[in-house]
């Protein structure tokens, strides 16, 4: 820092441009890679700023012997990071967006959603099954996944396979696959594999018609204090408009269904020629009962957008003051409308039974 006299130094230290921005993250290798990518984007935009990365373990990182759906905690991978944000120990936190509940604790908001990578799921095969697909795996092959959503859809599609829970970070799961001889394959998010540089292990991409993905999968969310306007302005430029609108629709759909980790809910979104398409589905735990529908909405994005006070309220936990409010509301309404369509057709019964069965096991 430079400055002539104490007054100048104090003014610089107090100005947002001279602050050290503290960035919270989970300790896993993937989380660090994701956080580093966000910090690199911010450094390119704000070369005069300094960034300090603070890594911490979360409940979800510590409880490794229980399926995620059984732990019954909505903020498994976020709570400790939010405590640090609340206590002003960090200024922002980088998450996988799919880990962030659709209702955030009071005082927090998602200030940026970065451009989404491939949101699809991928199959990694045991070395002896390289070159196979799920369809061509031997009868009764065991496939590892920590997700009820994946298991429900894939059991329905590939009844000759058995699905078993597998926990741990990506490194742990790959080690279990390769060393334990227990699993013929495991299902992971394609984006995580790509970010880790493990494209060579990617044996099969599961397209939405085979397995729809989790809400927000493949996108990174930057969580901040809702009233910290300096930081909101700082990170807001990272919003990718298309990713943002798709994820608002997905999160509104999930929130309105009251879904979460403990029930199989999945989505698929696309933007084409000014239309936002949202497909959403719900499944019973074994995949035998399911319901899915598609709706679309026209997104008007004005050429010019002026911020105003009406741009501050959050939508599904997200603040995006630099993206037209009308477009955001259209996306949110699309998610709510699709959820209502499924609920009116009996989706609540499927979800209630799935929740009860999951709780009972």
Catalytic residues: 99
Determine contact, residues 51/23, Cβ cutoff 8 Å.
yes
**End-to-end CA separation in angstroms for the chain:** 59
**Measured between alpha carbons, how far is 113 from 42 in angstroms, rounded to an integer?**
13
Enumerate residues 6+ apart whose C-beta is below 8 A from 238.
38, 41, 42, 112, 113, 114, 222
Copy the structure tokens of residue 86.
């609340």
**Measured between alpha carbons, how far is 170 from 49 in angstroms, rounded to an integer?**
32
Determine contact, residues 231/92, Cβ cutoff 8 Å.
yes
**Measured between alpha carbons, how far is 48 from 98 in angstroms, rounded to an integer?**
32
> Which of 283, 278, 255 has its CA nearest to residue 267?
278
141: left (phi > 0), else alpha (psi -120 to 50), else beta?
A: beta
DSSP at 104: P
Copy the structure tokens of residue 21.
């921005």
Please write down the HEC assignment for all residues of 179-246. HHCCCCEEEEEHHHHHHHCCHHHCCEEECCCCCCECCCCCCEEEEEECCCHHHHHHHHCCCCHHHHHH
């Amino acid at each position: 820092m430079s400055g002539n006299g104490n007054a100048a130094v104090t003014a610089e230290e107090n100005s947002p441009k001279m602050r050290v921005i503290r960035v919270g993250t989970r300790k896993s290798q993937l989380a660090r890679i994701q956080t580093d990518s966000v910090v690199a984007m911010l450094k390119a935009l704000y070369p005069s700023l300094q960034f300090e990365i603070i890594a911490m373990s979360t409940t979800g990182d510590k409880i490794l012997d229980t399926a995620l759906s059984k732990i019954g905690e909505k903020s498994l991978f976020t709570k400790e990071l939010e405590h640090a944000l609340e206590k002003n120990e960090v200024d922002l936190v980088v998450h996988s967006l799919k880990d962030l509940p659709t209702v955030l604790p009071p005082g927090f908001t998602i200030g940026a959603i970065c451009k989404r990578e491939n949101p699809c799921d991928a199959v990694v095969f045991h070395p002896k099954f390289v070159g196979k697909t799920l369809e061509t795996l031997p009868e009764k092959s065991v496939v590892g996944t920590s997700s009820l959503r994946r298991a429900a859809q894939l059991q329905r599609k590939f009844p000759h396979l058995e699905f078993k829970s597998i926990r741990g970070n990506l490194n742990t799961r790959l080690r279990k696959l390769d060393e334990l001889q227990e699993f013929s394959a495991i299902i992971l998010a394609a984006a995580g594999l790509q970010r880790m540089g493990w494209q060579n292990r990617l044996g099969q991409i599961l397209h939405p018609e085979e397995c729809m993905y989790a809400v927000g999968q493949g996108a990174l969310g930057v969580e901040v204090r809702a009233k910290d306007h300096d930081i909101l302005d700082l990170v807001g430029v990272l919003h990718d408009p298309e990713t943002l609108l798709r994820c608002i629709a997905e999160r509104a759909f999930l929130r309105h269904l009251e879904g979460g980790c403990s029930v199989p809910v999945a989505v698929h979104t696309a933007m084409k020629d000014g239309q936002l398409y949202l497909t959403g589905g719900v499944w019973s735990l074994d995949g035998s009962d399911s319901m899915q529908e598609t709706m679309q909405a026209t997104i008007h994005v004005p050429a010019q957008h002026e911020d105003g006070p009406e741009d501050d309220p959050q939508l599904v936990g997200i603040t995006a003051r630099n993206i037209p409010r009308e477009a955001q509301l259209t996306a949110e309404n699309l998610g709510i409308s699709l959820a209502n369509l499924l609920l009116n057709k009996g989706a609540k019964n499927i979800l209630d039974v799935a929740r009860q069965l999951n709780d009972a096991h």
